[in-house]
Amino acid sequence: MWRDPGAPADSFYETRPECTDVPKSKFRIKAGKTLSARKWHDAFSPEGNLDIGKTLGRIHRGGIHPSIRGEVWEFLLGCYEPKSTFEERDEIRQRRREQYATWKEECRQLFPLVGSGRFITAPVITEDGTPIQDPLVLLENNPDNGVIVPEEATSGVSEAAKNLERVTDKNVIQWMLTLHQIGLDVIRTDRTLVFYEKKENLSKLWDILAVYARLDTDVGYCQGMSDLCSPMIMLLNDEADAFWCFERLMRRLRGNFRCTDSSVGVETQLTNLAAITQVIDPKLHEHIEQLGGGDYLFAFRMLMVLFRREFSFCDSLYLWEMMWALEYDPDLFWMYEEADEKSEESKGRLKSIRHYGKFERENMKSGAKTGEEPPLPISVFLVASVLKEKSAVLLQQARGLDDVVKILNDVNGNLDAKKACMAALKLHKKYLKKAKKP
């Protein structure tokens, strides 16, 4: 249902009254541009086939109305295939909910607080698998950072810890060592929002991240994942549906979180960012190198949590959906399904060029999709466009890396999501042309 057609969408994500310094959203719901509930439902056939081409352009022009955001995101992230029917999607949804319930129960067997509505904020196990009998689980209220742990969320934790037996499985030890870290991050995530005053929402976020960390043994849990998962909890009522949306997003981003003894996954993206800047703005790249910033680590956070700190909460969601619409590939669902689940019928489903996002079409046209390496994500071009916009200031005022960080921090809360996406598209086109030239 439309609220005031020209109104900002902040009212859908209520901020705690005491948080007065939260940046206001620049995203405005615009009749005729924003994808409305009516336009979304009109894009489906009576059987449930979605004309994705109809919706991509509208999302990229005006975003998605907050009332339908969750269900649209499920398609943008590849949870469902557009040409599936209502019935097929119901079957997939039910199967996935059952699968999540099974995984969650397996985690609960290992640590009984999973699914209990409570979570931990201090370790309950040592590195050799010995249970810590009396963990400190309640953080004091801290006026400096506003972190408050609801007592109900952590009550009974000591009791659960007392019943733990010594763990010998290395993977389980590793997983249990991350559980309190997830708890500490959960209570700091989007704490300005009224939504997270409810302890059941905090514990839902903790449960999803705990289950994911148990399944993805390569990556486990890393700081920043709670920022990526938080919107899913808010947009999708069912915890299992939120988990699968987060899981799909992590398939795109998990490489950023993958760490080895010598490197962090996001370094590949930073290397790409350096290469793009060198092509687009050689003077700026040279200046950054002279300042000792050739590794581009100052852009680490932007890429890790997809600009959650640079935009207001509402605007970061608007930015994400525009990026995903621009990058959309109709084969996304089948790329994520197990190979043996891909039917001949699915491979033969008709697709036209309009079923691809604008950014993806550009990659296809330039041949970037046919190379050995996958094409660069739009997020890297977004960071490059921010650097390009700040190029003159950086060249004139940055005398050290601290200055670079300060100048880039000035964009926090001041960026316009739509303009940033448009600038990234232009830069992408320019880069593909210049990079082709010997």
User: pLDDT digits over 118-129, tens only?
Assistant: 998 888 899 998
Q: Tell me which of 47-56, 159-168, 283-292, 422-431 is least confident.
A: 159-168
> What pLDDT, on the 0 to 100 scale, is given for residue 351?
66
> What pLDDT, on the 0 to 100 scale, is given for residue 435?
77
CATH number at residue 233: 1.10.8.270
Domains identified in the chain, total number: 1
Q: Tell me the Cα Rg of the chain.
A: 23
Chain-wide mean pLDDT for the chain? 86
Residue 144 lies in a domain: yes
Q: Tell me which of 36-45, 147-156, 290-299, 353-362 is least confident.
A: 147-156
> What pLDDT, on the 0 to 100 scale, is given for residue 141?
35
List the one residue out of 204, 237, 244 whose CA is nearest residue 95.
Answer: 244
Residue 226 lies in a domain: yes
Residue 313 lies in a domain: no
Inform me whether the pLDDT recorded for 248 exceeds 90: yes
Structural domain boundaries, residue 170: 88-252
**Given pLDDT bands bounded at 50, 70 and 90, which one contains residue 257?**
confident
Element (H, E) at 42: helix 37-42
Q: Per residue in 297-338, pLDDT tens?
A: 999 989 999 999 889 899 999 999 999 999 999 888 888 775
Q: Per residue in 192-223, pLDDT tens?
A: 999 999 999 999 999 999 999 999 998 999 99
Residue 233 lies in a domain: yes
Residue 245 lies in a domain: yes
Residue 93 lies in a domain: yes
One-letter amino acid for residue 84 of the chain: S
> What pLDDT, on the 0 to 100 scale, is given for residue 158?
64
Residue 79 lies in a domain: no
One-letter amino acid for residue 18 of the chain: E
> What pLDDT, on the 0 to 100 scale, is given for residue 354?
80
> What pLDDT, on the 0 to 100 scale, is given for residue 350?
54
- State the SS3 of 237-255: CCHHHHHHHHHHHHHHHHH
Please name the residue that has the structure tokens 């904020």: 121
Please name the residue that has the structure tokens 């003077």: 283
> What pLDDT, on the 0 to 100 scale, is given for residue 189?
95
Residue 211 lies in a domain: yes
CB distance 64 to 34 below 8 Å: yes
